[in-house]
Structure 1
Amino acid sequence: MTGHDGDAERTFAALPPAHGRGFAQTWWGLAWLRALEDAALDSGQVKSGRRIARAGAVGAVSVRPGRITAVVQDRDRTAHRADVLLAELSAEQWDRLLDMAVERAGHVAALLDREMPPHLVEDAASEGIELLPGLGDLEPKCDCGAWDHCGHTAALCYQVARLLDQDPFVLLLMRGRGEHALLEDLQDRSAAPVEEAPEPEGVDAAEAYAAGDILPPLPETAEMPEKPGSPPSLDTEAPPGPGVDPVAVRHLAARTAVEAHRLLADALRRPSERPAAVLGLTAAQDAVRLAVDAPDPALTERLADGSGRDPQSLAEATRAWRLGGAEALSVLEEEWAPSGDTLARARAALDSAWDEDERPSLRAEGNRWTAVDAPAQVRLGRDGRWWPYRQERERWILAGPAALDPATALSSAELSSAEPQR
């Protein structure tokens, strides 16, 4: 399928027409498409690009650091050169990313299996390194003269989503490092000897006393710790007091350390980079948040009781929290009826998401649209995003993160429903 022009550039042969509605099947491929769909000012151009890509009108795709390129044909066979730019990581960011990958061997093993592990992306983000593109990161350039994403650059992005599904190293090459160079660098770092820390030098007591009237300089500001600290051990000979559960206390202390680390990291960011705070959680919602990483089944059972849920409902709620926090949990458990402008925007989004001959049959009920011929559903959140759901044993399960486009969300739900459930 691929040819190699050195490790710094890869050329992928033109792909055949895409059948069905979805272009991406992996979570990282869908994240790539969300970066396109969230940033495009003209949804009509995105729709046009999807149609062009589905028709197989995107030529061979060249991938190199910071840029992807292809020749894209219009319906009248007019050819246009389309480029999409993505910022490369700096040398310092690559050093931090590779050091982190060496410490977590599972990341490298997953990449070699052509998988993009979520923890790799999360760990990189905690180091200030964004691997997947975000809003506005995909910069379009096309000889058709459009200043924003046109149908040609959108078609190129849809085609690259299919390539990313097959090989996440394509994304790393766009970020500036080819597969062979990256793996060699990882191997070198893994084999590098560990340097012993030098012995601290002491100071003669008499000299220190004689210089006691000279104030030493203030210490440097402490750096942000790389990860949350560990709470003190509760392993003592004293038995716990009445009503005190050591497992629950240990879990709450660990979660408090994680939350304190997150709050400190947010406080050190510029105001424009700080995420919106999660405020006003009910006791039942907070129980779900705590249950996400609960280490003990007995503790999980108590959290289920405290949140008014049975164990299966709690498992579905924690899955929703992992995928989208409080907003995803609200969409899972709350059914509401859009009205006025909200309903009009929802209907417009549904009408424009598909070509007329490809529009699926959907049954509407409140904020939920269910596919008539598939165990798939999309739900509209109060923030205007669409959430994919699949039917499993007569229950609706959140199938993935939210999307701005209902077609992307429904495709994610259908792909998830088609996979064998374990």
Structure 2
Amino acid sequence: MNGTTHPRLPARRGGGTGTWWSKAVLRAVEEAAFGEKELRAGRALARAGAVGAITVTEGGAVAAVTEGQDAFTVEVTVPVLAEDDAAAFTELVASESGRIGALLAGQLPHALVESVEEAGVELLPYGGELGSACTCEAWLDPCPHALAVLTQLAWLIQADPFVLTHLRGLSRERVLRDLHQLRQPAGEPTVAAGSGGDSDATDDVDDLVVAEDAAVRAARLLRLESPFDSW
């Protein structure tokens, strides 16, 4: 199972507008919360920078959360897409020019999500899908520590929608690999990752996509020097 570790986010003040897709994820977090008190406590921990580095994998994420002198380990879960749904998502990304470029640039086109939903695929989560476990003694699920992690996941998703697809079982590398396979002429052999060929799964992408990926990564790095000032 491939995991991507995102560095600890700095403390920040206040709120902000966010993007439409990060708002949707935050609404799901609100739906999952037991009550307003726990939600406020989770948001306070997230804003205070109490959440450590978050490791995102297919179907979940794990992070440490500090509160006072104590530290707790939080695991959150999100259902992964079925194989048919994952294939449908990739085909819909490939169906219109500009969609993969938008994703690589840190955007989640509303038209893409609408098309995905019309195909019966749930990309954006709802509250009942968000599971969690924490080493604290709170009986609530999710506890404030888990809500803090979920809140910061929404912030990460704001900057990079591939965090959302990764949680749904489609890592950035898999999406690019599957898109490349869709574009290959029928009958042309594909070099599998780890097969001893000249390229691995990440390199198994069209040269144009690779170049675009490098450019937008550089642009996003500059933008993410102060990633959540607008929140």
TM-score bucket (shorter structure): 0.7 to 0.9
Q: Give the unaligned 5+ runs of structure 1.
A: 1-6, 195-414, 417-422
How far, CA to CA, are the matches of 1:101 and 1:21 in structure 2? Answer: 31
Q: Distance in 2 between matches of 1:103 and 1:15?
A: 35
1:142 correspondence with 2:134: yes
Distance in 1 (alpha carbons) for counterparts of 2:91 and 2:150: 30
Tell me which residue corresponds to 1:39: 32
Partner of 2:168: 175
Whole-Å separation in 1 of the counterparts to 2:158 and 2:133: 24
Rounded Cα–Cα distance in structure 2 between residues aligned with 1:77 and 1:14:
18
Contact 1:11–1:62 (Cα < 8 Å) also in 2: yes
Deviation readout 1:321-372 (Å, 9 max, x if unpaired): xxxxxxxxxxxxxxxxxxxxxxxxxxxxxxxxxxxxxxxxxxxxxxxxxxxx
Distance 1:51 1:39 in 2: 17
Matches within 5 A, 1:214-233: none
144 and 110 in structure 1: CA distance in 2 versus 1, 3 angstrom threshold: same
For 1:92, which of 60, 64, 84 is the aligned residue?
A: 84
Counterpart CA distance in 1 for 2:61 and 2:157 is 12
Residues 61 and 69 of structure 1 are in contact (CA less than 8 Å); yes or no, is this contact kept in structure 2? yes
Does 1:156 find its partner at 2:149? Answer: yes
1:58, 1:70 within 8 Å by CA — same for their partners in 2? yes
Deviation per CA, 1:181-220: give whole Å up to 9, x if none.
Answer: 21011011022339xxxxxxxxxxxxxxxxxxxxxxxxxx
Q: CA deviation at 1:64?
A: 0.4
Q: CA deviation at 1:106?
A: 2.6
Letter paired with 1:69: V
Identity of aligned residues (%): 35
Q: Which residue of 1 aligns with 2:66?
A: 73
Bigger RCO of structures 1 and 2 (CA < 8 A, at least 6 apart): 2
What is the CA distance between 1:61 and its match in structure 2?
A: 0.5
Instruction: Give the Å deviation of 1:166.
Output: 1.2
Deviations 1:27-64 (A, max 9, x none): 11111110010231222111001111111111111100
Aligned to 1:120: 112
Give SS of 1:136's match.
Answer: helix
The code of the aligned residue for 1:161 comes to: A
Q: 1:358-401 CA distances to partner (integer Å, 9 max, x unpaired)?
A: xxxxxxxxxxxxxxxxxxxxxxxxxxxxxxxxxxxxxxxxxxxx
Q: Indicate conservation of the 8 Å contact 1:49/1:153, yes or no.
A: yes
Q: How does 1:100-115 map to 2 (within 5 A)?
A: 100-115=92-107
User: Is 1:19 aligned with 2:13?
Assistant: yes
1:61 equivalent to 2:54? Answer yes
Mapped contact 2:34–2:140 kept (Cα < 8 A) = no
Q: How many Å apart are 1:154 and its aligned residue?
A: 0.7
Number of equivalenced pairs = 188
- What is the rounded CA distance, in whole Å, between the counterparts of 1:83 and 1:27 in structure 2? 25
Structure 1 equivalent of residue 3 of structure 2: 9
- 1:118 is displaced (CA, Å) by 0.6
- Residue in 2 that maps onto 1:324: none
Distance 1:36 1:192 in 2: 43
Paired with 2:127 and 2:52, the residues of 1 have a C-alpha distance of 26
Q: Which amino acid aligns with 1:14?
A: R
**Distance in 1 separating the partners of 2:174 and 2:127:** 29
Q: Is the 8 A contact 1:53 1:155 kept in 2?
A: yes
Shift of 1:114: 1.1
Match of 1:132 among 99, 104, 124: 124
Q: CA deviation at 1:65?
A: 0.5
Aligned to 1:245: none
Q: Distance in 1 between matches of 2:91 and 2:153?
A: 28
State whether residues 46 and 149 of structure 1, in contact with CA within 8 Å, keep that contact through their aligned partners in structure 2: no
Unpaired runs of at least 5, structure 2? 188-229
TM-score by length of structure 1 reads: 0.43
Larger Rg: 1 or 2?
1
Structure 2 counterpart of 1:128, one-letter code? G
Counterparts of 2:165 and 2:6 in 1: how far apart (Å)? Answer: 15
Give the TM-score, by structure 2 length.
Answer: 0.76
Aligned-CA RMSD value: 1.9
Map 1:13-412 → 2, pairs under 5 A: 13-22=7-16, 25-74=18-67, 76-145=68-137, 146-193=139-186
What is the deviation of 1:93?
Answer: 0.9
Q: CA deviation at 1:160?
A: 1.3
Per the alignment, in what secondary structure is the counterpart of residue 127 of structure 2?
coil
Mapping of 1:405-420 within 5 angstroms?
Answer: none
Residue 169 of structure 1 deviates from its aligned partner by 0.4
Note the alpha carbon deviations across 1:90-119, whole angstroms, 9 max, x for none.
111111111222222232121121101111
CA contact (8 A) 2:65 2:71 kept: yes
